[in-house]
Structures are given as structure tokens and as C-alpha cells.
Amino acid sequence: MDQKVMVFAPAPLLTVTIEQQGEATELHLHPGGQGVWQSRMIAALGVPVTMCVGLGGEVGDAVRKLLDDEDVTVRMVRRESGTGWYVHDRRDGERTEIAEHPGVPMVRHDIDELYTVTLTEGLRAPVSVLSGPADPQVVDPDIYRRLAADLSANGGTVVADLSGPYLEAVLDGGVSVLKVSHEELLDDGLAKDDSVEALRDAGRRCQERGARTVLISRAGEPALALPEDGEALLVHAPPLELADHRGAGDSMTAGVAAVLARGGDMREALHVGAAAGALNVTRHGLGTGRAEAVRELAGRVRLTPLDGGDDDG
């Protein structure tokens, strides 16, 4: 099997952003959504990516053309329903939503075709990443359960970065790595509060239900890692000035998946994932960065046992 990653990105978005550069107003059009941002970072780290997507309507045609500019291989299923989009205004330095549409829910035929394409590409890759849509009404969660179960049963490493019904689905199917934010655990009622102890307990329950390793991002605080066969760890990323907090978690997931696809172990994956997430917050482009910068930052990430003790440098 090639050292590559399959990313399941069922419902990408067309993102339209208005920005101000000096006296000039600029309009930026990009493909977006969690799976796109993860794929972009994985590719930046030098690991080939195949992204499996469903696109439909005039907006879907535009997204498909924009994906040609990404350094990824795209397997597309043409949907009967329309692709989602959003328009944001950032001229004052803040992100103001002007309008958005998450997309029309995928019909059964769309899901069947996308499942077949995704399963095929997932079987060809050592690592598969399951990413979520912008709105939980767009894609039936059961496709996530089926993919997690079938890819895992056939020797694949499945990395999931999900919440809500999608998180529940992949736990039922079983995953190698579950990445989730502390806010998502709170919103889903899986953690009673945001203390490290409560988050650790929530992560352990996720492990009991089907996740071998759990990685919990904690905004500006050290992430919490619960490896399959080791003690709980705090993941300390190097301090960097914040430009845009969005996308840090997606870049962390991408870094973990890239290392595992190359045959690296979980500790290396945590170093690179934390470094990729830290680098992303210094940039305005989601899922962007340079591999050389991630490598430098990875050497500055520290893993420390949750219950105290020496770090690993």
C-alpha cells in the first residue's frame, strides 16, 4: 500500500471572502470545509492525498474547478442536490457572515455512490480521515459508521475528527484515532465540565466505546492525548502569536494522519500534529503552512504525563 491518506470530505463548500488590503478591496474564492482544510495540510506535509467528495449544482461545478488548484487527487461523485457555500466579510479584520447555505441533504443514491468510491480509495490507503460536513442535516451519519467499521476490519487506520451524531457513529464503527475538541465534548454532553480530569474521563469513555486513541484539543491550552497503550499526556505546543484560531484542530488532525501514513508512531504523530496546529493559527489561510516550519516546531512540542513527571523534550 502506498504511503498516502484518503480523506472523506462528503460535502465541501464554496467559500467567498471579502478582504481589505490597503485601499484595495479583494474577493477570494476557495474550496472549503473541514476535509478540504485537512487535505491541504496533509499535502503540505508531503504525503499524497486522495479526497472523496460529493458535488452538485452550479456551486459544485465551481468547487470542482477550484479543487484542481489543490495539490490533491479528487474522486468526485456528482450529486443530485446542490453544494453549500458561504460569504464572509473580513474588511474590518473580523469575520462577519453575510450569507451562507450548508447545502441540500444528500439523497440515498448520492450516498451509495460516494460510499463505494470512498471505500475503494480507503482500501488503497494505509490511513483514512473521516471529516464532517458543515451541517449535520447534509449527510446521514450511518455512512460514517459503515466506513469506520469496514475500513478498520480490512486493516486500515481510521482517523476521525467529528462531533455530535457523527462522533457517535464512528464510535459504533470503531476508529484508530478520535480527535475532538473540548467544546464539542461539552456540547455533546460527554464531559461534565472543561477540567482536565473531566475531559480525561470523557476520553476514556470514548475509548471504551470504540476509539483506540483519543486526542482532545483545548483551544489555547495543551491538548490532552489518551494513547491506546499508555498514560494520559498533555501536548504542549510552542507559543506563537495568533492570527486566526480557526483550523488549528483540523491541521492537528492532518499532522497526525500524515505521520501515521508514513509509518510513524503515535508520539511522533502528536509532535507533528501539535506543530501543524500551532503553525496554522499564525496564518489566515486554513490548512496552510510549510513542511519545514512544521518540522522546526515539532521539535519544540513537549509531551508531559498528566499526573506529573518529566517531559520527553
How far is the C-alpha of 45 from the C-alpha of 290, rounded, in Å? 7
Q: What share of the chain is helix, strand, coil (3-state, %, to 5)?
A: 40, 30, 35
Q: How far apart are CA 301 and CA 252, in angstroms?
A: 12
- Its domain, for residue 252, covers 5-305
Chain position carrying cell 460514517? 144
Largest CA distance in the chain: 56
Stretch among 18-22, 146-150, 173-177, 212-216 having the lowest mean pLDDT: 18-22
Residue 310 within any structural domain of the chain: no
Average pLDDT over residues 60-83: 94
In the chain, what percentage of residues exceed pLDDT 70? Answer: 93
- 133 vs 156: CA distance, rounded Å: 22
User: Is there a domain that residue 312 lies in?
Assistant: no
Give the number of domains in the chain: 1
Looking at the predicted structure, is the pLDDT value of residue 176 above 80?
A: yes
**Does any domain span residue 45?**
yes
Residues 156-166 have a mean pLDDT of: 96
172 pLDDT above the threshold of 50: yes
d(CA 110, CA 108): 5
Give dist(CA 104, CA 108) in Å, integer. 13
User: Is 34 within the bounds of a domain?
Assistant: yes
Residue pLDDT, tens place only, 281-294: 665 555 456 788 88
Q: Burial code of 92-105, b = ≥16 C-beta within 10 A, e = fewer?
A: eeeeeeeeebbbbb
Residue 117 · residue 245 · CB < 8 Å: no
Residue 248 has pLDDT above 90, yes or no: no
What is the pLDDT confidence band of residue 310, given thresholds at 50, 70 and 90? low
| Residue 218 within any structural domain of the chain | yes
pLDDT for 16 equals: 96
Residue 313 pLDDT > 50 = no
Task: Give the residue carrying C-alpha cell 455530535.
Answer: 164
Phi, psi of 279 (to 5 degrees): -65, -40
Average of per-residue pLDDT across 247-271? 93
**By the 8 A CB rule, do 114 and 55 touch?**
no
C-alpha cell at 115: 460510499
What pLDDT sits at residue 245? 52
Residue 207, in any domain of the structure: yes
Q: Report which residue type is found at 222.
A: P
Chain mean pLDDT for the chain: 91
1 Cα distance to chain centroid: 23
Whole-model pTM? 0.92
DSSP symbol at 107: P
CATH number at residue 194: 3.40.1190.20
Q: In which band, very low, low, confident or very high, does the pLDDT at 35 lie, cut at 50, 70 and 90?
A: very high
Amino acid identity of residue 211, one-letter, is: A
Tell me the pLDDT band of 1, cut-offs 50, 70 and 90: low
In the predicted model, what is the mean pLDDT of residues 21-48? 94
pLDDT tens digits along 204-228:
999 999 999 999 999 889 999 999 9
Banded pLDDT at 80 (limits 50, 70, 90)? confident
pLDDT at 244 over 90: no
When mean pLDDT is compared across 100-104, 259-263, 276-280, the lowest value belongs to 276-280
